[in-house]
């Protein structure tokens, strides 16, 4: 009985870190960063989540892309019609958030780790946050979406718009306690920040907050984060990380 109790408590203390594919699972045949294929491949790899980034066009269409420009065109300066024929590296058209949400319905088990990129003005940031939360609610996928952003303003807007959602701040410069006071319930920090401030993991957990770490690509870093019991490891090598997490 005592041994059983010890096993349960040990298991409880070492809950397995979950793996998130960074910009989807794109380092494989037929995929590309932030493509629909990268979401499909992440789902097929059976990881916890697929991360992706969103940007706003001049006519306020939300597109899925990491950088604020694509093929030398600044996304915020053109209407969507000027981007709709742009192809990703795997031949797919640049997806809109609507395309992405529609595709995600085919893979109901994977979480959507939605990064709203900082925008030039507060108005744009508030608009994109509102627009996305509205789409997420209308498509009944609130239980699958976890929000992340480098913009404190966007995180604060998300707290107002969707307070029960998972919302994590990315910029690495604020303690869990200070984020908690704002209603933000997670940290999603660079692996070097977490490595240098491992006490933030305990601090976050004691407040009921989650700890995600990016972009954890080296084997020794993945192992270090697993040993630190972070909740989520965001990586460009999701299959490798998943194998290591299961060990």
Least distance from C-beta 51 to Mg ion, angstroms? Answer: 5
3-class DSSP assignment, residue 178: helix
Shortest reach from residue 114's CB to Mg ion, in Å:
9
Point out which span in 32-40, 45-53, 200-208, 216-224 binds Mg ion (CB under 5 A): 45-53
Distance CA 126, CA 107 (A): 29
* Residue range at the interface with Mg ion (CB under 5 A); choices 93-101, 115-123, 130-138, 194-202: 115-123
Between 49 and 176, CB nearer to Mg ion? 49
Find the shortest distance in angstroms from Cβ 24 to Mg ion.
Answer: 10
Write the CB contacts of 45 (distance below 8 Å, at least 6 apart in sequence): 21, 25, 238, 239, 242
Span of 98-106, 107-115, 187-195, 220-228 interacting with Mg ion by CB under 5 A? 107-115
* CB distance 24 to 38 below 8 Å: yes
Long-range contacts of 121-124 (CB under 8 A, 24+ apart): 122/153, 124/56, 124/76
Q: What angle do CA 58, 59, 65 make, to 5 degrees?
A: 60
- Point out which span in 47-55, 72-80, 196-204, 219-227 binds Mg ion (CB under 5 A): 47-55
At its nearest, how many Å lie between Mg ion and the CB of residue 170?
A: 8
Helix (H) / strand (E) element for 189: namely strand 186-190
Residue 53 lies near Mg ion (rule: CB under 5 A): yes
Closer residue to Mg ion (CB): 89 or 202? 89
Give SS3 for 202.
helix
Residue 236 interacting with Mg ion (CB under 5 A): no
Run of H or E including 46:
none
* Binding test (CB under 5 A) with Mg ion, winner from 37, 88, 115, 158: 115
User: Given the complex with Mg ion, which of 53 and 156 has the nearer CB atom?
Assistant: 53
List of residues contacting Mg ion (CB under 5 A): 53, 115
């Amino acid at each position: 009985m005592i041994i059983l109790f010890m096993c349960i408590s040990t298991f409880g203390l070492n809950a397995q870190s979950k793996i998130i594919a960074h910009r989807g699972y794109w380092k494989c045949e037929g995929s590309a960063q932030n493509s629909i294929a990268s979401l499909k491949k992440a789902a097929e790899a059976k990881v916890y989540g697929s991360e992706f980034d969103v940007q706003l066009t001049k006519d306020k269409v939300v597109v899925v892309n990491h950088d604020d420009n694509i093929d030398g065109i600044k996304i915020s300066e053109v209407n969507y019609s000027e981007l709709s024929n742009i192809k990703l590296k795997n031949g797919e058209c640049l997806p809109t958030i609507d395309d992405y949400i529609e595709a995600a319905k085919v893979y109901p088990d994977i979480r959507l780790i939605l990064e709203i990129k900082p925008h030039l003005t507060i108005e744009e940031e508030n608009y994109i946050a509102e627009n996305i939360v509205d789409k997420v609610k209308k498509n009944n996928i609130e239980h699958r979406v976890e929000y992340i952003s480098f913009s404190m303003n966007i995180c604060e807007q998300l707290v107002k718009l969707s307070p029960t959602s998972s919302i994590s701040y990315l910029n690495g410069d604020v303690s869990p306690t200070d984020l908690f006071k704002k209603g933000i319930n997670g940290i999603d920090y660079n692996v070097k920040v977490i490595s240098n401030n491992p006490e933030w993991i305990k601090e976050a957990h004691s407040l009921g907050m989650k700890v995600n770490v990016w972009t954890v690509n080296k084997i020794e870093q993945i192992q270090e984060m697993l040993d630190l019991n972070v909740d989520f490891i965001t990586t460009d090598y999701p299959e490798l990380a998943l194998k290591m997490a299961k060990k």
